[in-house]
Amino acid sequence: MRWAVSRLAQRLRAETGRTGLTRLETSVLANLRHGGPLTPTALADVEGLQPQSLTRTINALDEAGLVERSRDDRDRRQQTIRLTAQGRAALDDHVRDGNAWLAEALRTELTPAERDVLRIAADLMTRLAGEGKPGSSLPGAAAPQ
């Protein structure tokens, strides 16, 4: 199953690669969209990286006008990174390309019954990833203590 999920993710990235965004740039933009403005340290924590590892990516996104930096009014040493309208549009394009490819692949490659099975599997994987309803667990799993 891990192999299949990984291969599908690779294919989806290939189909959305026309936007010119790297995987890390896309992830940074998505985290800023969903998490609001973040400090470089908070953004690195979300990405599972050291802050200095994100410097080049943040610089590239800033130079492209996809994010902007601002200084904290109380602590001028602290920066906040926020998504710009151009960054939001670039992320929307990226997602739209991926969604269009996926919708077409689902329609042409799978039967209606297979699509139903995939919908159920997607719900289960979302739950396994901890993104389902609070307190949800797999059927038959022990409740958290």
CATH number, residue 63:
1.10.10.10
58 belongs to a structural domain: yes
Tell me if the pTM is above 0.85.
no
**Does residue 36 belong to any structural domain of this protein?**
yes
pLDDT at 132: 53
pLDDT (tens digit, 9 = 90+) per residue, 84-119? 999 999 999 988 888 898 999 999 999 999 999 999
Which stretches within the chain are classed as H helix? 2-16, 23-35, 40-47, 51-63, 85-109, 112-128
Identify the domain containing residue 25 by its residue range.
19-128
Number of domains in the chain: 1
Cα→Cα distances 9→57, 67, 103, Å: 21, 25, 14
Please indicate, yes or no, if residue 12 is contained in any of the structural domains.
Answer: no
141 falls within a domain: no
Whether residue 144 lies inside any domain: the answer is no
Does residue 11 form part of some domain? no
Q: Is residue 5 part of a domain?
A: no
Q: Is 113 a member of any domain? A: yes
